[in-house]
Chain A
């Protein structure tokens, strides 16, 4: 299968441990958000996946092989690690043409990826004159050259304007929809909320969470509804029967997920249950993420 397997990955720079015994899997057909505060080790992990840095311990395989053993690498993995990683005096077209040639890909792929990333009109322009957004697109075009099933993007929306951000989000979704495995890093939870199906959260190089987006939201109270009523035990059974997930909240309240507030209200009215509170929870993903990575942030604050 087209997937990335990270197993027991450790990377030390002198006495500093940038990545600490990290294991996770990136599955096909979904966007895996790789989340962590700045300095958490995301870029280092991605460089190791790409064979650009060597791990101190552990290994990474892509569809069961080490990156350097992929016979035609660009047809397996496409990556955008650093949008600035182009020679500014080369045209977008020449940059892509050289990459295509290096993997024996037909030159017409260049036109195809330029078109898919909306760069056709600037193909003959020097990359040095490109805006950050255009460079990101050029990097994505390079990643798509070999039509790979595994895609890796390091902070692709950093520094982009809202329109660029929306374009990239939609793009990630469509790549995953085509069945590809997509790994996208970010240090902002809000960026992931609308893009990722799965979350891998790291802090100080260590794995903090490896969970589906839905589970993460539920576990952190996003999309839940707080219900207070006269007979919580009875109403909880009614809610469960209606397909909701119910757990006990503070002061004999109920925390309900998988059922909208309006539906809960209707159910209560139908069964003549008196509600004293019915409030959709506002806890944001950002708060949940902050809570999760608090320890690693405190550590960073203390040392820098």
Chain B
């Protein structure tokens, strides 16, 4: 690799101070699985200084708070897979984490790095977006919280500003425990990016799709919601036919591209199938009175 400088941040506040001090030439380093792999092949000059946040303990951890389910940005995919709290309240996120890369990547790669790389195929994106996740950002002028949807700007572009750090992801209380599921289709079962991925969730205790949410990855410049499919489902009696129709509607809301992995037409077909499967997966997690118990 081309030479760069290095500083280790003690905690999130220290990281922001370092980012502000070193300015435009600084770059955040978390698990390094995207950043270091990119740097090795990049024709561009490397950052002047790598601000290593991998030891910032305050950026780690999964916990229930007054706001909802908080996941520190530095939480690794393996930690998500192994978390009893995630298994209990947000199994769809574990379904997404366990199919990221291979075990070696999951042991290093973090959820924050996954969101911040901001490729449309990111596997953490759909579930979090479907559950209206919020993200907390720390910068030189303090903390701010925005919906995850406002973090994503375009391929490899986020709305993070100068010297800002992604601190945590919060699933709002009202959606903690909402039945949801994640589906990914890649060219292989392991070590393959998604051709399409999808997440869906709804409350189903009354036999109808209540507050349905559908999100899709790898089929638009960023991870997107499928609002037309959601609106069509809302209030309808739960059935396999309705799930299939929602999948077909969702496909009309995406703009997939043709690339070396798959054609746009193939991706459209995949959307319909994966949305149907994600809805069915969510349905399998529905139990009576779930919503009342959650809130």
Do A and B form a real pair?
no
A interface residues (Cβ-Cβ under 8 A, vs B):
none
Binding site for A on B (CB under 8 A): none
